[in-house]
């Protein structure tokens, strides 16, 4: 069972992760020898009278070395001083960053792209999440070939999961030392006993993300009549391997590290992780389980795609920001779920939200504002927001209740449960600004409005002796404009740890996404749900990468990442710049390079490949010591830090990495220069000319202005200089565009002028 151990004093043992860097053997260390070594280390610091603690919860030995064990703070400090140890840190609790979207992206399936004729590589996506519901039609293996012979994974059995639950689509399933809490939303197979562990999803999140990344074609998919159509993942012919490292919305860092290590050993090509920690608790990369695992994954040429977090719209909130991670922001698609409310004064208002009636029709009920049905006068302000314990159930019963939703102290779900528990007949929320993500209220009538419509509702309540209203079931509006729009919840850059690397990298659909879900106990339960979050955006990118990998099997993860970033869309369906929910132009700190465009990414013309040497140099520039680097870097690479990495301004050198975007944290009165190397993957004989789209005052020069490729020359370097003497203070954004007359290769930049 996942636990968060809070020590009463420093001598109370709690789970710690001991990270020891890359394996001594390039093919991974022996499991038995590794565990014996770990036990010997524990024996050297744990008192003999507490010998029962000399045990390892998780041991990592394939892609990286380390283990998880119960330690006191003093013991952890002692271990951190061992020469073979990079870092020791408390085992963190991470959180989940929780159809039509592929049509909107201009997917290959909606543009008649001959996928099966062109595909020549079997891609395996590893999904680290809450497990999977294998009976979902999204994981049907019809029309898919035999399991690739290179696959070395397993299908672990649990109390409610058998080897027969795996197939040619779901080729692997593992679970770790976690235990689901009892859940009344999960309909488990009959005749099951108390769980001891299972790959089966009892939360729904893992089933959602796996189906978005690689779900099979499912015709007539719908969520109680909404979002009807063909459900499919980004790469329907790709295989799925699930690694259950989370339970009931929480994920333990050591389980994620073990899952990543297993995924590498099993033979996955891409790892999709819709998990992270709050930006408030971000730590150094060597104390971050996802950053550690993803680094060693990159050393083996495997891609890691992560959600950027749901703590927007404030800046400096993006997480999973290491440069070797593909960090994804969330946006809307051209579909809106509309809820209509008819007031008793014949005024009809159009809001947002998802609710449906399983029987009967919409009815009219008395309408009341929360602060007018308070439990006690002292609770008036709390009742305004429908906070728990603030409402009088007798006054609420039989009415539609209106609540304010300005802050995030109480979630929309909690407000719904508060009024529902008091026998209300519906809920109307009023926001300062309209939320981009529709709240799913199920069969409980619901609608949400911005402040303008909300003022009309409150005015009606205050001016009527007998206010009443009707909430109608949600309806779906397709081809909604503008779209995409950056989701209000999507975490923003700059990245606090890596401001010289632009984060997030890319934006993808993450609002109102139809995906597979676990069935609940109700009769006629839907097999699909509508969900929002960067959790949903992340597998869109994972699926797109799998699709591109299947067409270009020799391309590295970094090459595919570059192709996606330099071909990203920067305009909406009104042919205007992408915007946020405040109707302002979205900046690269909100959208990265732009919106995912899988088709264009197939033919990017130029690639900016970030190599492991770039990542090693990053560690040098970031400030890691030579001793730490000797442990972290793969033993097969005889790497030494560049001489200039010891300078006092070495973090500025991070901007020189061959990354597909440019970020400069601090541009003083002088001129800053960075270098990039372009690789030609288009026509062998081509000339590209550069142009600049940038803000007034910032002088951007590219030398040489033209770059030429011939058959023998595949790579060409160039230099970009930024002069901010006349530029506005703060971040300046723009694009460097290379064109041969047919292609436009866009490199976004963010330069902070001080």
Q: Active-site residues: which are they?
A: 129, 205, 535
How far is residue 370's CA from residue 129's CA, in Å, rounded to a whole number? 38
Angle ∠(196,198,200) on CA atoms, nearest 5: 140
How far is residue 234's CA from residue 104's CA, in Å, rounded to a whole number? 12
Q: Could you give phi then psi for residue 232, rounded to 5 degrees?
A: -160, 155
* Dihedral (CA of 522, 528, 529, 531) sign: positive
The residues, any chain, with a CB within 8 Å of residue 670's CB and separated by 6 or more, are none
Quick check: 242 and 129 in contact, CB under 8 A? yes
How far is residue 607's CA from residue 252's CA, in Å, rounded to a whole number? 36
Concatenating the DSSP letter of every residue in 93-142 gives EEEE---HHHHHTT-TTTTT--HHHH--S--EEEEEES-B-TTSGGG--T
How far is residue 219's CA from residue 222's CA, in Å, rounded to a whole number? 9
How far is residue 69's CA from residue 549's CA, in Å, rounded to a whole number? 38
How far is residue 506's CA from residue 318's CA, in Å, rounded to a whole number? 12
Q: Could you give phi then psi for residue 143, rounded to 5 degrees?
A: 60, 30
Residue 420: CB atoms within 10 Å: 18
Instruction: Tell me 474's DSSP state.
Output: P
For residue 650, give both structure tokens: 């070495």
Quick check: 735 and 720 in contact, CB under 8 A? no
The residues, any chain, with a CB within 8 Å of residue 225's CB and separated by 6 or more, are 356
The residues, any chain, with a CB within 8 Å of residue 205's CB and separated by 6 or more, are 96, 98, 129, 130, 246, 249, 274, 535
Quick check: 371 and 400 in contact, CB under 8 A? no
168: exposed, middle or buried (Cβ count in 10 Å: 0-12, 13-18, 19+):
middle
Quick check: 217 and 146 in contact, CB under 8 A? no
For residue 712, give both structure tokens: 């023998």
Q: Name the nearest CA neighbour of 736 among 660, 658, 655, 657.
A: 660
How far is residue 153's CA from residue 139's CA, in Å, rounded to a whole number? 17
Q: What's the distance, CA 714 to chain centroid?
A: 34
Quick check: 647 and 620 in contact, CB under 8 A? no
* Dihedral (CA of 357, 359, 364, 367) sign: negative
**Cα pseudo-dihedral 477, 478, 482, 486, rounded to 10:** 90
Q: What's the distance, CA 521 to chain centroid?
A: 29
**Cα pseudo-dihedral 695, 698, 703, 707, rounded to 10:** -10
323 preceded by a cis bond (ω within 30 of 0): no
Q: What's the distance, CA 430 to chain centroid?
A: 28
Residue 706: CB atoms within 10 Å: 12
Q: Could you give phi then psi for residue 595, rounded to 5 degrees?
A: -90, 135
How far is residue 627's CA from residue 679's CA, in Å, rounded to a whole number? 34
Helix, strand, or coil here: 500?
A: coil
Q: Name the nearest CA neighbour of 124 among 143, 147, 145.
A: 147
127: exposed, middle or buried (Cβ count in 10 Å: 0-12, 13-18, 19+):
buried
For 723, what's the count of Cα atoms within 13 Å in the CB-facing half-sphere? 7
């Amino acid at each position: 069972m996942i636990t968060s151990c809070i020590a009463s004093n420093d001598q109370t043992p709690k789970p710690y992760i001991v990270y020891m860097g890359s394996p001594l053997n390039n093919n991974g260390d022996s499991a038995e020898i590794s565990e014996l070594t770990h036990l010997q280390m524990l024996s050297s610091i744990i008192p003999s009278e507490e010998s029962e603690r000399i045990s390892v919860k998780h041991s990592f030995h394939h892609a990286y070395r380390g283990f998880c064990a119960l330690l006191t703070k003093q013991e952890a400090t002692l271990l951190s001083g061992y020469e073979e140890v990079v870092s020791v840190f408390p085992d963190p609790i991470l959180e989940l960053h929780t159809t039509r979207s592929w049509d909107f992206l201009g997917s290959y399936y909606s543009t008649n792209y001959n996928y099966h004729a062109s595909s020549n590589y079997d891609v395996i996506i590893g999904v680290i999440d809450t497990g999977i519901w294998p009976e979902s039609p999204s994981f049907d293996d019809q029309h898919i070939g035999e399991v690739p012979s290179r696959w070395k994974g397993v299908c672990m059995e649990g109390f409610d999961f058998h080897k027969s639950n795996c197939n040619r689509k779901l080729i692997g399933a593992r679970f770790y030392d976690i235990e689901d809490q009892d859940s009344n939303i999960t309909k488990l197979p009959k005749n099951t006993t108390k769980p001891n562990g299972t790959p089966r999803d009892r939360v729904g999140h893992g089933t959602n993300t796996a189906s978005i990344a690689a779900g099979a074609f499912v015709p007539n998919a719908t969520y109680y009549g909404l979002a009807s159509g063909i459900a499919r993942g980004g790469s329907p012919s790709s295989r799925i391997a699930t690694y259950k490292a989370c339970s009931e919305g929480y994920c333990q860092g050591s389980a994620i590290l073990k899952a990543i290590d297993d995924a590498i050993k099993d033979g996955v090509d891409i790892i999709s992780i819709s998990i992270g920690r709050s930006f408030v608790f971000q730590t150094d990369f060597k104390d971050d389980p996802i950053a550690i695992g993803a680094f060693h994954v990159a050393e083996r040429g495997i891609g890691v795609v992560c959600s950027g977090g749901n703590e927007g719209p404030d800046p400096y909130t993006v997480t999973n920001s290491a440069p070797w991670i593909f960090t994804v922001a969330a946006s809307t698609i051209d579909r809106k779920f509309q809820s209509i409310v008819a007031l008793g004064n014949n005024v009809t208002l159009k809001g947002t939200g998802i609710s449906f009636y399983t029987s009967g029709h919409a009815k009219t009920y008395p309408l009341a504002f929360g602060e007018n049905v308070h439990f006690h006068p002292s609770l008036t302000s709390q009742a305004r927001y429908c906070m728990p314990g603030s409402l009088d159930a007798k006054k609420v019963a039989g009415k539609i209740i209106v609540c304010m939703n300005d802050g995030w102290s109480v979630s929309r779900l909690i407000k719904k449960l508060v009024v529902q528990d008091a026998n209300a007949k519906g809920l109307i929320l009023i926001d300062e600004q309209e939320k981009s993500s529709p709240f799913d209220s199920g069969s409980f009538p619901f609608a949400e409005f911005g402040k303008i419509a909300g003022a009309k509702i409150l005015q009606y309540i205050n001016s009527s002796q007998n206010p009443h209203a009707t909430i109608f079931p949600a309806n779906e509006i397709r081809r909604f404009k503008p779209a995409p729009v950056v989701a209000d919840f999507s975490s923003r850059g700059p990245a606090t740890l890596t401001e010289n690397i632009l984060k997030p990298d890319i934006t993808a659909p993450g609002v109102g996404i139809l995906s597979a879900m676990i069935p609940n106990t109700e009769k006629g339960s839907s097999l699909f749900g509508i969900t929002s979050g960067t959790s949903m955006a992340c597998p869109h990118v994972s699926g797109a990468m799998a699709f591109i990998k299947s067409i270009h099997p020799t391309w590295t993860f970094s090459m595919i990442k570059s192709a996606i970033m330099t071909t990203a869309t920067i305009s909406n369906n009104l042919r205007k710049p992408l915007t946020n929910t405040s109707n302002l132009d979205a900046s690269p700190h909100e959208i990265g390079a732009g919106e995912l465009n899988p088709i264009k990414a197939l033919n990017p013309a130029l690639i900016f490949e970030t190599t492991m040497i770039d990542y090693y140099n990053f560690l040098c520039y970031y400030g890691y010591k030579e001793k730490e680097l000797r442990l972290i870097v793969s033993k097969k690479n005889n790497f030494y830090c560049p001489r200039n990495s010891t300078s006092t301004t070495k973090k500025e050198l991070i901007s020189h990495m061959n990354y597909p975007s440019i970020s400069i944290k601090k541009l003083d009165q002088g001129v800053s220069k960075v270098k990039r190397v372009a690789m030609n993957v288009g026509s062998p004989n081509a000339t590209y000319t550069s142009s600049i789209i940038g803000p007034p005052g910032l002088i951007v020069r590219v030398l040489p202005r033209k770059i030429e490729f011939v058959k023998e020359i595949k790579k060409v370097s160039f230099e970009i200089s930024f002069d901010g003497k006349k530029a506005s203070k703060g971040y300046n954004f723009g694009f460097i565009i290379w064109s041969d007359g047919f292609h436009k290769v866009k490199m976004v930049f963010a330069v902070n002028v001080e």
